[in-house]
Amino acid sequence: MQQKYKYIESFCGAGGLGLGLHQAGFEIGTAFDLNEAAVLTYQKNLSENCFIADASKLTGQELMEKAEVNYGELALFAGGPPCQGFSKQKRGAHLGDDERNKLVLEYVRLVKEIQPRFFLLENVAMLGQKRGTYFIEALKNELQEYVLHPHFYNSADYGLAQTRQRFIIVGKHKSIQTDFNIPSPTVSKWKTVGEILGSLPEPPVDHRQEHPDIPNHQRSNVTEKNLERFSYVPQGGGWRDIPYDLRLECHKNADTSKGGWPDVYGRLKWDGQAPTITGGFDSFTRGRYGHPLQNRPLTPREAALLQGFPVNYKFFGNRHEVRHQIGNAVPPLLAKAIGEEIKNCLLIEEESLNSSNLQVAISTK
C-alpha cells in the first residue's frame, strides 16, 4: 500500500505554498507562523493543524509529534524564512554572519533535527544577485546531507497571469537515488489578466462594503483627485499619461523620457500579464496595480486570483494584514508543480525500493 506523503510547513503565511502542495497530493502534517491573522486564514481554508509559533522556540521533535512522523520519515519540510542579511561581501560563506539571518538559521536547524527526505526553501531575498551564489554555498555547508536544486521560476509558466519570479531551492536527501527534475512549464501560452478577472463582477461602489457573494472583493478608499488622474491612463500606461496640471508635484518636473518609476499610476493590460503582486497592490500609486478597464486599483480578491488562489479562498484580518498575506504568498499553482515533481521522485524511489526488496526475497528462496 502506498504510504502517505506528509509535509510540515514553516513560516506558512496564508497558505499559498500549502494549498499547492496539498493539490499535489501531499498531506498536511502541521504548519506554523508567527502572524495570527495568517494562521487564521490557513486554518479556515486549509487545515486546523496550523498554529501560532516563533520558530526559535520550536524543536524538530515537537513538530514531528504534531505531524505524527518519526525522525527521517517526513516527506517534505517547506517554508520561506527571510534571509536578507546574507551579503556577497561576507567571506567564507557562513549563514551566521548577520543577525538578520536568524530565521533561516532556525529553518536550517529544524531541517537538521527532522531530517526530511526533501526540503523546499523559498523567498530567498537575493533574486538575480551574485550573493545568491554565496548563500547556496553556505547552505551546502550547513546541510551536507542534501543535494540542492536552486532554480528561478517564472509564475506565468505555471498558469498565472503574472510574471512574478521566485527563487526556490529544493533539497533532496542524499539517501534518495532518484533524480529530482525542475518541473517543466505547465502551460504553452501565458494566461492573461482578462482571462483571470473577466468573469468577476464589480465590487460595491462603497469602499466600506465587501461583495456579498465574493470574499475580499472590496474597493480601496481612493481620493477623487487620484481617480481623476488615473482616468487618463490607458492600458499599459502610467503617470506620464496624466495631464501636466493634474500630476503630482514630484512628477511635474520629472524627465518623461527616462526613469521616474513608470509603473506608478500604472494600468494593467487586459490581454497581458501582471507584474509581481506585492502587499501594495491596492494602490496604483505603488505600482502597476490599476484595473485594466475600471478606474480603480485591484481589489484583494482580484490580486488573490492573479496569485492563483481560488475565488472562495477567504483571507482574514484587517486590510493591511490581508494585503500582505496575498502579496507574500507563494503562488499555489507554482507550488503544486514543484510538489508534483517531489512526489513523483518519492514514488519512483518507493517503487524502486519495493522492486529491489522483491528481487532479494525471490533470490533468497
User: Is 12 a residue of the active site?
Assistant: no
Cβ atoms within 10 Å of 313's Cβ, excluding its own: 23
C-alpha cell at 24: 499535489
235-252 exposure pattern, b = at least 16 Cβ within 10 A, e = fewer? bebbbebbeeeebeeebe
The DSSP secondary-structure symbol of 56 reads G
Q: What's CA 363's distance to the chain center, in Å?
A: 49
What long-range pairs does 24-27 form, CB within 8 A, spacing at least 24?
A: 24/335, 24/336, 24/337, 24/338, 24/339, 24/340, 24/342, 24/343, 25/339, 25/340, 25/343, 26/75, 26/76, 26/339, 26/343
Coil, strand or helix at 201: coil
Which three cell numbers mark 69? 512522523
Whole-Å CA distances, 206 to 228, 231, 258, 293, 298: 17, 19, 37, 18, 15
Q: Which of 207, 156, 209, 171 is nearest to 331 (CA)?
A: 156
Which residue among the candidates 12, 83, 250, 345 is catalytic per the annotation? 83
Strand residues in the chain grouped as ranges (E): 6-10, 27-33, 50-52, 76-79, 118-121, 146-154, 165-173
Contact 315, 325 (CB under 8 A): yes
What residues have CB less than 8 Å from 147, skipping those under 6 apart? 171, 172, 174, 180
The C-alpha cell 533561516 sits at: 104
End-to-end CA distance of the chain: 23
Residues 6+ away with beta carbon under 8 Å from 61? 113
Tell me the catalytic residues.
83
